[in-house]
Amino acid sequence: MNSRLFLDMHIIQTLPPSNINRDDTGSPKTALYGGVRRARVSSQSWKAAMRNYFKESGEVANVGVRTKDIVSYVAGKIREINSTILEKEAMDRAAEAIEKAGIKLKDNKDKSAKEAKALFFLGENQAKDIAKIAAEAEEDAKGKLVLDKDLLQKVLNDNVAIDIALFGRMVADDPSLNEDASSQVAHAISTHGVQTEFDYFTAADDLSPEDNAGAGMIGNVEYNSSTLYRYANVALHEFLHQLKDRGSMINATKLFVEAFAKSLPTGKVNTFANQTLPSILVINLREDRPVSLVSAFESPVKSEEGYVAGSIKRMSDEMEKIQKFVQKPVKTLYLAIDNVDITDGEEVDSLDELLEKLGVEIENYQFS
């Protein structure tokens, strides 16, 4: 038996002209890699898209929220528990309980309520449990709620929402509330060099006089097109430790894989309608360590007939080469749109089949 099991996910995905992740000037994000300018989509951007996918899937109830407005969020849960508690009292009870737990609060902009000093990641079930404690707490002689800090912190450290477990939580004011991330998501980069292009546009004013030939608005939008290499991993042993139930861990892992494959950041999506899916998804289960295959593209792919086939070939070859340094994967599963042969890999015909087989592999794995 092995105490560790890592899930590696590798995707090659093409984006047409698009700008799904902008920098502070509105330009598509880029990175230098191998001395060549590449398209880049930040891990933060794709993780946000994945969290939205979790919420929209309806399959997992215990998904977290990340907000400064934590007091009103918990106050709403208090009023769900006891509708006789008025809004002002619910806000006061929520603020007391949250501060007692070790989360620093401050007045919001209009000083009408309290809010967290920084974004705080709170699970749905955790919020309900905090609200229950606050709603049922008795007051002391000075009118303060009698609250147990250890109990409140236990609530915030137990029953962890899947996105908190996967992506982590950092609380500078009280490190005991930190949650280590069981997953890592890389910045996606193009497998080839890119150049930013410009779309000059004009918009007509529908109510402009007929003798006015000028445009109602002019401007330009920057964009590029790219074939991306995307990578993420999950430390399944750590994820199991966090969720404390193998069935929940397996279901959440399958949802993570599905979200990684099917989610897409929404930047300028109405402008470019860049609604693409991966050309290939490769899953490796490893016992030694997670391994990215991005080194396959340190030398950029060059082609006048598209980048997908060449990128998939580079990635497949790199997976074989790295065996000189690491153990052979316990299992390799892959799903490809076109005919592809991945050495020692098991090809599946659909994402549903891949997720089913992945679930069986994890279910049967003997964690020590």
pLDDT tens digits, one per residue of 7-24: 999 999 999 999 999 999
Q: Does 176 map to a domain? A: no
Here the tokens at position 138 are 């008795």
Please say if the pLDDT value at position 216 is more than 70: no
Please say if the pLDDT value at position 329 is more than 70: yes
Backbone angles phi, psi at 195, to 5 degrees: -130, 140
Are residue 19 and residue 72 in the same domain, yes or no? no
Here the tokens at position 130 are 């905090």
pLDDT at residue 62, as a whole number: 77
Segments forming the whole domain that contains residue 106: 65-160
pLDDT at residue 52, as a whole number: 93
Look-up of token digits 């215990």: 62
Here the tokens at position 255 are 């949802």
Distance CA 230, CA 9 (A): 8
pLDDT at residue 213, as a whole number: 62
pLDDT one-digit tens code per residue, 192-209: 999 999 987 767 777 777
Are residue 56 and residue 108 in the same domain, yes or no? no
Are residue 190 and residue 333 in the same domain, yes or no? yes
Q: Hey, which residues does 335 pair with through a beta bridge?
A: 281
Average pLDDT over residues 338-342: 92
Cβ contacts of 143 within 8 Å, gap of 6 or more: none
pLDDT one-digit tens code per residue, 68-99: 999 999 999 999 999 999 999 999 999 999 99
Whole-number mean pLDDT of the chain? 93
Please say if the pLDDT value at position 212 is more than 70: no
Are residue 56 and residue 70 in the same domain, yes or no? no
Q: Does 168 map to a domain? A: no
Cβ contacts of 320 within 8 Å, gap of 6 or more: 343
- Whole-prediction pTM value? 0.91
Residue 265's closest CA among 185, 194, 354, 197? Answer: 185
Strands (DSSP E) found in the chain: 6-18, 30-33, 36-41, 64-67, 105-107, 114-116, 120-123, 183-185, 188-190, 197-203, 217-235, 280-286, 331-336, 346-347
pLDDT one-digit tens code per residue, 111-124: 888 999 999 999 98
Contact 124, 64 (CB under 8 A): yes
pLDDT at residue 133, as a whole number: 96
- Last residue in a domain, options 103, 126, 160: 160
130 or 211, higher pLDDT = 130
pLDDT at residue 220, as a whole number: 83
- Last residue in a domain, options 160, 191, 226: 160
**How many residues in total does the chain contain?**
368
Residue 102's closest CA among 159, 152, 158? Answer: 152
pLDDT at residue 111, as a whole number: 81
pLDDT at residue 136, as a whole number: 95
- Last residue in a domain, options 130, 160, 190: 160
Here the tokens at position 341 are 């042969």
pLDDT at residue 214, as a whole number: 63
pLDDT at residue 33, as a whole number: 98
Residues of the chain above pLDDT 90, percent: 82
pLDDT at residue 58, as a whole number: 67
Are residue 150 and residue 231 in the same domain, yes or no? no
Are residue 147 and residue 259 in the same domain, yes or no? no
pLDDT category of residue 310 using cuts at 50, 70 and 90: very high
> Buried (b) or exposed (e) across 11-49, using 16+ Cβ within 10 A?
bbbbbebbbbbbeeeeebbbeebeeebbbbbbbebbbbb
pLDDT at residue 300, as a whole number: 98
Please say if the pLDDT value at position 252 is more than 60: yes
Q: Does 166 map to a domain? A: no
pLDDT one-digit tens code per residue, 145-194: 999 999 999 999 988 899 999 999 988 778 888 999 999 999 999 999 99
202 or 356, higher pLDDT = 356
Look-up of token digits 């792919």: 301
For residue 278, count other CB atoms closer than 10 A to its CB.
22
Residue 260's closest CA among 159, 364, 356, 355? Answer: 355
Total domains in the fold of the chain: 2
Q: Where are the alpha helices (DSSP H) in 29-118?
A: 43-57, 70-81, 87-100
Are residue 254 and residue 222 in the same domain, yes or no? yes
Q: Does 165 map to a domain? A: no
pLDDT one-digit tens code per residue, 20-74: 999 999 999 999 999 999 999 999 999 999 999 998 886 555 788 999 999 999 9
Distance CA 168, CA 234 (A): 12
Are residue 110 and residue 137 in the same domain, yes or no? yes
Transcribe 306-340 into DSSP letters. Answer: -SHHHHHHHHHHHHHHGGGTSPPPSEEEEEESS--
Are residue 190 and residue 41 in the same domain, yes or no? yes
Distance CA 110, CA 199 (A): 41
